[in-house]
Chains A and B, each alone.
Chain A
Amino acid sequence: MLKIEGLNVFYGTIHALHDINFEVNEGEIVTLIGANGAGKTTTLHSISGLIEPKTGSISFMGSPITGVAANKIVKMGLCQVPEGRRIFANLSVLENLEMGAYTRNDKHNLKDDYEVVFTRFPRLKERIKQIAGTLSGGEQQMLAMGRALMSRPKLLLLDEPSMGLAPLLVKEIFSIIQDINKAGTTVLLVEQNANMALSIATRAYVLETGHIVLSGDAKELAASEEVRKAYLGG
């Protein structure tokens, strides 16, 4: 579904991603784990069209999307929940969801999709008129996810959804990610919380200073000595 080949990204002279190759197949949850500054966000931004890679190719559902405008990529069915949520704090909860549905032309289906989001995140429904900036951190994460779901993505990119959340809430968010996946959305999950990420993923890639150093079945990686030492605290 998503295929990345020979991706090199620079920030000025800083070489942030070195020859990245990976793919995500339909129906999977694939996780990309790595420490601070490894290049996870850079990878997701390259896929979403916010950063132009120097070389390499990215294709989504068979069509190349390198150099395609970010808004067109969303329309093709690829949406990102960015790091730090980045909800529109000055807009209401409902307006945020409307922005998620910005690319949709099928008005008649929208109503159902709001219902789907509200069933998944009942707390958002209670706060529909509230200004998004006044939501709690957990609610903001739910809004960021709900907003992305409103675009009806075939592939959902999630950048550190557990960031800054209490353990109980992290559990809740991860189980929602699994539900979203079961409902038919493919997921590419970026995390520093490798334990949690590996527990729900099908496959995983490990990113270290811009290189993919390990990849494989999530369960096997979780069991491997190398990963346990580096990312799982023993």
Chain B
Amino acid sequence: MNFMQEFGQQMVNGIALGSVYALIALGYTMVYGIVKLINFAHGDILMVGAFAGFFVLTANGQDPSKISNPLMLVLAFIIAMAVSALFGVIIEKTCYKPLRKAPKINLLITAIGVSIVLENGARVIPWIGPNPKQFPVLKDIPIIDGISQMIKAQTGVFISPVQILSFIIAILLMLMLFYIVNFTKTGKAMRAASYDMGAAQLMGINVDNIISVTFAIGAALAAAAGILFALNYPQVEPYMGIMPGLKAFVAAVLGGIGSIPGAMLGGFIMGIAETLTKGFISSKLADAVAFGILIIILVIKPSGILGKNTREKV
């Protein structure tokens, strides 16, 4: 393989990984935009979604080692996204909402607490437990395999079925999000409330509902990312959300926390930086590069690439 092909291959890997980070980063950025909270439990919501998908895909009557029925895969995504959305809303209503008027640090500590509860809760639940479980692999789905083979033959670059699925799901969900945020009444209210919550209330917007919807959407996106992540590995375990969660957090900060396009851009940059580091420098350095990026942005441009230099409103 020549250098260009190798580079192209790593870029493809990076974009595929980046699309997963972008999905997760969107949840951080949307929640931050509206309640000014870095939701440290967001990575664990991804884990919840991945397990929900796991249970759908390994339910009775299926081959637990592989997924060959595309309908089951669609069902897994839908159920996982719904379960995570429900978790997101329940956590918001029970843990964060009572603290809405409290100092931000209380909220942050609560989020860390929620994260610990979810991780260790998963460890003690008998169907989950502390040990990693094999996630079924994506195999023998003709359309996806066909696309993969065609690209390989045309360009010499190999895009795995999981990577193709990651692109498709990520792009689909981002388009849906774009539509919701820009063209629906709820989406407009989300933007209005994240700009000025008091003014939104004065216009008759029920901001409690809007906040719940925001948490639900962020959690659903994380669940989709969770399944994609699990398909790639392929395993699920209670701590699986921590690393992708942290990297997506860096992505959200890199793009400009609070900015939706920023989270997407940041996600792709993080994914590409990680795979290029792995491919051309050393796979041991990949995580160090991710957090090195965080330190560099915080020093150079804390508001991120697409972030606005808004002053903190009190």
| Real binding pair | yes
Q: Which of A60-81 contact B (CB under 8 A)?
A: 69-71, 73-75, 79-80
Whether A99 and B198, one on each chain, are in contact in the complex, defined by CB atoms closer than 8 angstroms, is no
Asked if A214 lies at the interface with its beta carbon under 8 angstroms from chain B, I say no
Interface size class of chain A, counting residues whose CB lies under 8 Å from the partner chain: 20 to 34
Asked if A139 lies at the interface with its beta carbon under 8 angstroms from chain B, I say no
Whether B192 and A91, one on each chain, are in contact in the complex, defined by CB atoms closer than 8 angstroms, is yes
Whether A90 and B195, one on each chain, are in contact in the complex, defined by CB atoms closer than 8 angstroms, is yes
Whether A48 and B199, one on each chain, are in contact in the complex, defined by CB atoms closer than 8 angstroms, is no
Asked if B203 lies at the interface with its beta carbon under 8 angstroms from chain A, I say yes
User: Which residues on the A side are within 8 Å of B199 (C-beta)?
Assistant: 82, 86-88
User: Which residues on the B side are within 8 Å of A90 (C-beta)?
Assistant: 191, 195
Q: How far is the CB of A190 from chain B (nearest CB, A)?
A: 14
Whether A100 and B203, one on each chain, are in contact in the complex, defined by CB atoms closer than 8 angstroms, is yes
Q: Which of B191-219 contact A (CB under 8 A)?
A: 191-192, 195-196, 198-207
Asked if B189 lies at the interface with its beta carbon under 8 angstroms from chain A, I say yes
Asked if B104 lies at the interface with its beta carbon under 8 angstroms from chain A, I say no
Q: Which of B143-202 contact A (CB under 8 A)?
A: 185, 188-189, 191-192, 195-196, 198-202
Whether A151 and B191, one on each chain, are in contact in the complex, defined by CB atoms closer than 8 angstroms, is no
Q: How far is the CB of B264 from chain A (nearest CB, A)?
A: 17
Q: How far is the CB of B175 from chain A (nearest CB, A)?
A: 20
Whether B202 and A48, one on each chain, are in contact in the complex, defined by CB atoms closer than 8 angstroms, is yes
Whether A91 and B188, one on each chain, are in contact in the complex, defined by CB atoms closer than 8 angstroms, is yes
Whether B204 and A103, one on each chain, are in contact in the complex, defined by CB atoms closer than 8 angstroms, is yes
Q: How far is the CB of B53 from chain A (nearest CB, A)?
A: 35
Task: Give Cα A10–Cα B178 distance, bound, in whole angstroms.
Answer: 42
Closest to A89 in B: B195
Q: Which of A97-139 contact B (CB under 8 A)?
A: 98-100, 102-103
Closest to A147 in B: B203
Whether A71 and B201, one on each chain, are in contact in the complex, defined by CB atoms closer than 8 angstroms, is yes
Asked if A213 lies at the interface with its beta carbon under 8 angstroms from chain B, I say no
Q: How far is the CB of B93 from chain A (nearest CB, A)?
A: 15
Whether B205 and A99, one on each chain, are in contact in the complex, defined by CB atoms closer than 8 angstroms, is yes
User: Which residues on the A side are within 8 Å of B185 (C-beta)?
Assistant: 98, 102
User: Which residues on the B side are within 8 Å of A69 (C-beta)?
Assistant: 206
User: Which residues on the B side are within 8 Å of A208 (C-beta)?
Assistant: none
Q: How far is the CB of B30 from chain A (nearest CB, A)?
A: 14
Task: Give Cα A202–Cα B156 distance, bound, in whole angstroms.
Answer: 81
Task: Give Cα A70–Cα B193 distance, bound, in whole angstroms.
Answer: 14
User: Which residues on the A side are within 8 Å of B189 (C-beta)?
Assistant: 99, 102
Closest to B206 in A: A71
User: Which residues on the B side are within 8 Å of A147 (C-beta)?
Assistant: 203
Quick one: which of A71, A80, A151 has the most chain B CB within 10 A? A71
Whether A70 and B202, one on each chain, are in contact in the complex, defined by CB atoms closer than 8 angstroms, is yes
Whether A95 and B188, one on each chain, are in contact in the complex, defined by CB atoms closer than 8 angstroms, is yes
Q: How far is the CB of A77 from chain B (nearest CB, A)?
A: 10
Q: How far is the CB of A156 from chain B (nearest CB, A)?
A: 12
Return the contact of A102 from the options B195, B196, B205 (Cβ within 8 A). B205
Task: Give Cα A148–Cα B198 distance, bound, in whole angstroms.
Answer: 14
Closest to B198 in A: A50
Q: How far is the CB of A41 from chain B (nearest CB, A)?
A: 11
Whether A71 and B195, one on each chain, are in contact in the complex, defined by CB atoms closer than 8 angstroms, is no
Whether A86 and B198, one on each chain, are in contact in the complex, defined by CB atoms closer than 8 angstroms, is yes
Closest to B202 in A: A80
Whether B203 and A102, one on each chain, are in contact in the complex, defined by CB atoms closer than 8 angstroms, is yes
Task: Give Cα A99–Cα B204 distance, bound, in whole angstroms.
Answer: 8
Q: Assuming A87-B199, A88-B196, A102-B204, what are 4 further A-B pairs, CB within 8 angstroms? A: A50-B198, A95-B188, A98-B185, A99-B192
Interface residues of A (CB under 8 A from B): 48-50, 69-71, 73-75, 79-80, 82, 86-91, 95-96, 98-100, 102-103, 147-148, 151
Q: 10 smallest A-B Cβ distances: which pairs?
A: A74-B204, A103-B204, A86-B199, A70-B201, A88-B192, A71-B206, A71-B204, A99-B203, A90-B195, A102-B204
9 residue pairs bridging A and B, Cβ less than 8 Å apart: A71-B204, A86-B198, A88-B191, A88-B195, A90-B195, A95-B192, A99-B205, A102-B185, A103-B204
